[in-house]
Amino acid sequence: MDAPTSAERTVYLPSMSDHAFTVAAAMRHFGVRAEVLPPPTQETMAMGLALCRGRECLPCFLCVGDLLQKCRAPDFDAKRAVFFMPTGTGPCRFGQYNVLQKSILTQEGYPEAEIVSPSTADSYALFGADPVGLRKLAWQAIVSVDLLTKVLHEHRPYEMVEGSAAAAYGVSLRELVAAVQAGGGSAVVGALSRAARRFGDLKTDRAEERPLVAVIGELYLMLNAQSNLGVVRAVEQAGGEVLQGTFSDWLHFVDWRRKDLSLRFRHYRNFVEGWISDTYQRWIERRFTIPLRGVIRHPPEAPIDEAMKRLAVCYEPVLGTEAVLTMARTLDLARHGLAGVINVLPFSCMPGTVVSCMAPRLREEMNGVPWLDVAYDGQEETNLHTRLEAFMHQAFQYHHRVLRAS
Ligand code: SF4
């Protein structure tokens, strides 16, 4: 029997966040069969842990579990399966996830299952018959979910009818998925305009301004509500409002890094490619922000190079890794009047640990704002909620005594 063609294969994306649904839709627009795997659970994590050595990071064994759960489904056909697992060239373990996962799949009896790994080295160039078109549409997919998430975070804490913001978000996300699958562009603008009307119609009570808490840190953990134990919702339930790091910021950072290193090593062609990609990305961001102007109060994040200038007073940005982005963005977000910062990190995460070590210096730059590091090891019984209570008490004090007095 002939090997399945690429059109007969299905690309499976890990369910890191809702971005996976719109990115899968972008792939389907280009004729790639794409499905999102179910979100991680304690059961899938146990599957992953059983096959890892125990020294890997939490996102690694969560993704291994997600892959294996799919492989062990009765209707699974390894010859027709492609797992989507981006990679990176930095000094941390992210660059080795796909290598380990391929070896585990082979060892578990699924050697034909492929892993496709777009890399930070090529700014996540994608695949298929039109990889540039797919990359552009995937960018639209990512930015639109980031913007919709911001709208949700700005409304949910103030909703007067419990669940109304989440319901508006759910409908809007489904419309975004359809709009991206239809090719993006004006279809996404239309979906975002309808989302703006939906959120604008919500009954909210903003009489009491809530303390603003930045939730930043390692990308997977920061965005994956299952593995971070719903930290955003927990802050909201404790009386705060969240400003969360975004997926698109990571991709801007990858482009910034590519341009910075290209200039240092005189790879001018690489620099120009990075510049073109950045220009397109910024244009899409501006275009998609317009319909949401009435429902987003907080100003947009500063461009990466500006954020890096803020960081340079206390840490050298060229050292790279996600730590640089996390710290630079936190200093930038402080302009919004933060009353607290929560740094989420997988247990033993290298960039996350750098950020924790730098926290006292960063806090000096941010007028002593309360700071909480939360290291996750996948155990449900972390004392997150007790620690969050104490932290939110400090955030309220800071909000009333420092921010309001200034
Ligand atoms: S960023 Fe942290 S959690 Fe992610 S791969 Fe690197 S060390 Fe692991």
Task: Tell whether 396 is covered by a domain.
Answer: yes
Query: Do 25 and 115 fall within a single domain?
Result: yes
Of the residues 94, 129, 164, the one at which a domain ends = 129
The SS3 call for residue 39 is coil
Which protein residue's CA is at the shortest distance from atom 2 of ligand 1? Answer: 349
Query: Do 93 and 226 fall within a single domain?
Result: no
- Which residues contact residue 302 at a Cβ distance below 8 angstroms, ignoring those fewer than 6 apart? 310, 332, 335
Task: Tell whether 193 is covered by a domain.
Answer: no
Please give the distance, rounded to the nearest whole angstrom, from the Cα atom of residue 349 to the centre of ligand 1. 5
Instruction: Please give the number of the atom of ligand 1 that sits closest to the Cα of 95.
Output: 5
Task: Tell whether 175 is covered by a domain.
Answer: no
Which of 111-150 are b and which e, b meaning 16 or more Cβ less than 10 Å from the residue's Cβ? eebbbebbebeebbebbbeeeebbbbbbbbbbbbbbbbbb
Which protein residue's CA is at the shortest distance from atom 7 of ligand 1? Answer: 349
Query: Do 330 and 242 fall within a single domain?
Result: yes
Query: Do 107 and 244 fall within a single domain?
Result: no
Closest CA to 83 of 141, 143, 24: 24
Task: Tell whether 219 is covered by a domain.
Answer: yes
Please give the distance, rounded to the nearest whole angstrom, from the Cα atom of residue 183 to the centre of ligand 1. 33
Rounded distance between C-alpha atoms, residue 164 and residue 161, angstroms:
6
Query: Do 125 and 213 fall within a single domain?
Result: no
Query: Do 125 and 216 fall within a single domain?
Result: no
Query: Do 114 and 256 fall within a single domain?
Result: no
Q: The dihedral of CA 309, 310, 312, 313: what is its sign?
A: positive
- Give the distance from CA 375 to its chain's centroid: 17
Q: What is the CATH number of the domain that holds 118?
A: 3.40.50
Query: Do 278 and 383 fall within a single domain?
Result: yes
Select from 85, 89, 93 the residue to mutate for testing ligand 1; criterion: most ligand atoms less than 8 Å from CB: 93
Select from 350, 376, 377 the residue to mutate for testing ligand 1; criterion: most ligand atoms less than 8 Å from CB: 350
Task: Tell whether 382 is covered by a domain.
Answer: yes
Residue 35 near residue 14 (C-beta atoms within 8 A): no
Instruction: Please give the number of the atom of ligand 1 that sits closest to the Cα of 90.
Output: 6
Please give the distance, rounded to the nearest whole angstrom, from the Cα atom of residue 275 to the centre of ligand 1. 27
Please give the distance, rounded to the nearest whole angstrom, from the Cα atom of residue 217 to the centre of ligand 1. 10
Rounded distance between C-alpha atoms, residue 134 and residue 26, angstroms:
7
Task: Tell whether 29 is covered by a domain.
Answer: yes
Query: Do 242 and 349 fall within a single domain?
Result: yes
Of the residues 73, 103, 129, the one at which a domain ends = 129
Length of the chain: 406
Please give the distance, rounded to the nearest whole angstrom, from the Cα atom of residue 58 to the centre of ligand 1. 8
Instruction: Please give the number of the atom of ligand 1 that sits closest to the Cα of 58.
Output: 3
Residue 214 near residue 202 (C-beta atoms within 8 A): no
Task: Tell whether 276 is covered by a domain.
Answer: yes
Which protein residue's CA is at the shortest distance from atom 5 of ligand 1? Answer: 94
Which protein residue's CA is at the shortest distance from atom 4 of ligand 1? Answer: 94
- Which residues contact residue 235 at a Cβ distance below 8 angstroms, ignoring those fewer than 6 apart? 213, 215, 241, 242, 342, 388, 392
Task: Tell whether 174 is covered by a domain.
Answer: no
Query: Do 217 and 310 fall within a single domain?
Result: yes
Q: What residue ranges line ligand 1, CB within 6 angstroms?
A: 57, 59, 92-94, 218, 322, 346, 349-352
List the pLDDT tens digit at each of the 406 positions of the chain: 455 666 688 999 999 999 999 999 999 999 999 999 999 998 998 888 888 877 788 888 889 999 999 999 999 999 999 999 887 766 677 778 888 899 999 999 999 999 988 765 555 555 667 888 999 999 999 999 999 999 999 999 999 999 999 999 999 999 999 999 999 999 999 999 999 999 999 999 999 889 999 999 999 999 999 999 999 999 999 999 999 999 999 999 988 998 998 999 998 898 898 888 889 999 999 999 999 999 999 988 999 999 999 999 999 999 988 999 999 999 999 988 899 999 999 988 899 999 999 999 999 999 999 999 999 887 765 577 888 999 999 999 999 887 666 6
Query: Do 121 and 216 fall within a single domain?
Result: no
Structural domains in the chain (count): 2
Query: Do 235 and 325 fall within a single domain?
Result: yes
Of the residues 101, 129, 157, the one at which a domain ends = 129
Please give the distance, rounded to the nearest whole angstrom, from the Cα atom of residue 74 to the centre of ligand 1. 32
Closest CA to 19 of 190, 191, 149, 198: 149
Rounded distance between C-alpha atoms, residue 124 and residue 136, angstroms:
11
Full residue range of the structural domain in which residue 213 is found: 209-403
Please give the distance, rounded to the nearest whole angstrom, from the Cα atom of residue 305 to the centre of ligand 1. 23
